Structure 1
Amino acid sequence: MSFRPAGSRPAVLGYAVALVFALSASIAAAQDAKPAAATSAKPAAAASAATAAQPAAEKPATAGAETAHSGVKLGDATAGQGKAAACGACHGMDGNSSDPQYPKLAGQSEQYIVQQLGNFKSGKRQNPIMMGMAAPLSEQDMHDIGAYFAGKTALPGVADQALVERGEQLYRQGDAAKGVPACMACHSIDGRGNPGALYPQLTSQHAQYIQATLKAMHDGTSWGDDAHAKIMPSIAQKLDEKDIAALASYVEGLHAADGAAAKPATP
């Protein structure tokens, strides 16, 4: 029995050819799969990167510094000092006016100052001088000026002792018979006001300014057409001249004494 190599050659060649085709097919499949995997992975990676970057992109650079008004930041007292220079001619450089016909702005809330400057600018509140001063101010300017004066302290005034009793009664108790509510219900027990509700600070304010303002409100003057602006005229109309004088004097003497925030000065 003899072995014939020539007869087995076709089978060997056939196996070799089959093996070559199998290897080629595997390599081609691997090459085709690699770009596909890279392509599918690329969008996923991009999407993941975009998702990771999204919170940083959406976070404002001045988080916590903006008010509800888009683009308007809370007042900057440092910037407000320069902007308030023109106000000093009437209201005093530190907000304590020396002329009692002009109100003290020291310690007044930023919110209230902004509101009133806006009223002057829009014409809701009429005053030739203040309308002209407010006209060129931006909302940011108003906030800065308000922040500057809010950081100052109102210098104490002195009440007329002869008017204190009636003034204190009106401020702290009101007058039920006349339908007059206690002033401190809105302006606080120590006269510091209520910034959130836009009720102004009254403590240490010049009696002459308070008296003139209450008289104007008694005669129907209003600082706006909204319900909030109509509160004081309706109350002032129930006060007579003696009530107004007593209340104005008491308010001027209403201030902290020896660090006691709620204790009024009653000289």
Structure 2
Amino acid sequence: MTSHTLLRIAALAILASPLAAQAGDASKAISLAGNLCASCHGEDGNSAIPNFPKLAGQQAVYLLRELKDYKSGKRQNEVMGPLVSGLADEDLANLAAFYASQKPAPGTVTEPSLLPVGKTLYLKGNSASDIPSCESCHEVDGSGSGKFPRVAGQNVEYLLEQFRLYAAGKRNNGTRVMRTIAERMSEKETRAVSEYMASMP
């Protein structure tokens, strides 16, 4: 069995694991989102700042996990950590529900010439370097599922930074699968698949 196959099995096993999301109330987070999050992520979660993630339409389970990881320090970020440190778990769940309910805006492609390469990587992976397809976890349309985030329409620079953090071992929350994939991808492959993700509606 190849390591490519093992990575796919590991990813699918995580996808099938029970989800322990705390249901949030989006209506209770409107004020909090506007006061605390909008300056970086936009009023509706569609950040216009390239290195900040779009949150609109993101999976609520994923958002809640990330917010809790920022709060606990499992995911390190000098801005997000202090920002959520004083919030109750109920607040985090409400924020996750709020952004999940927002309509995602189309992404911006910066290097269209890389889209064919990115599409192939996203849908088929690269068997030569044991890189599995992205759609195995993030769905064919990039919408994500449960703990696996929506990547469709995401900001390219944000995606690139996450690949770099995974490859360098500096993003330790989430799955080992992503670190392994990021370590195996070339700079061109990382850019290409990020561009393709951004192009997805």
TM-score class, shorter:
0.7 to 0.9
Structure 2 residue runs without a partner (length 5+): 1-18
Per the normalisation by structure 1, the TM-score is 0.65
**Which amino acid letter does the alignment assign opposite residue 99 of structure 2?**
F
Q: Note the aligned Cα RMSD (angstroms).
A: 1.5
Structure 2 residue 102 is matched with structure 1 residue 152: yes
> Following superposition, which runs of at least 4 residues in structure 1 exceed 4 angstroms of deviation?
none
Q: 1:233 to 1:68 in 2, by over 3 A?
A: closer
Structure 2 residue 116 is matched with structure 1 residue 170: no
Structure 1 residue runs without a partner (length 5+): 1-66, 256-267
Contact kept, 8 Å, 1:91 with 1:97, in 2: the verdict is: yes
Contact kept, 8 Å, 1:172 with 1:183, in 2: the verdict is: yes
**Which amino acid letter does the alignment assign opposite residue 138 of structure 1?**
A
Structure 2 residue 150 is matched with structure 1 residue 204: no
Q: Could you tell me which residue of structure 2 aligns to residue 193 of structure 1?
A: 144
TM-superposition CA deviations, 1:34-68 (whole Å, max 9, x none): xxxxxxxxxxxxxxxxxxxxxxxxxxxxxxxxx96
Q: Could you tell me which residue of structure 1 aligns to residue 65 of structure 2?
A: 115
Aligned residues: 181
Identity, % of aligned pairs?
Answer: 33
TM-superposition CA deviations, 1:6-50 (whole Å, max 9, x none): xxxxxxxxxxxxxxxxxxxxxxxxxxxxxxxxxxxxxxxxxxxxx
Contact kept, 8 Å, 2:76 with 2:171, in 1: the verdict is: no
Q: Could you tell me which residue of structure 2 aligns to residue 36 of structure 1?
A: none
C-alpha distance in 2, partners of 1:68/1:232?
Answer: 21
C-alpha distance in 2, partners of 1:221/1:129?
Answer: 16
Greater length-normalized contact order (CA 8 Å, ≥ 6 residues apart): 2
Per the normalisation by structure 2, the TM-score is 0.86
C-alpha distance in 1, partners of 2:42/2:65?
Answer: 20
Structure 2 residue 164 is matched with structure 1 residue 215: yes
Q: 1:68 to 1:244 in 2, by over 3 A?
A: closer
C-alpha distance in 2, partners of 1:249/1:242?
Answer: 11
TM-superposition CA deviations, 1:184-211 (whole Å, max 9, x none): 000000000011xx00000000011101
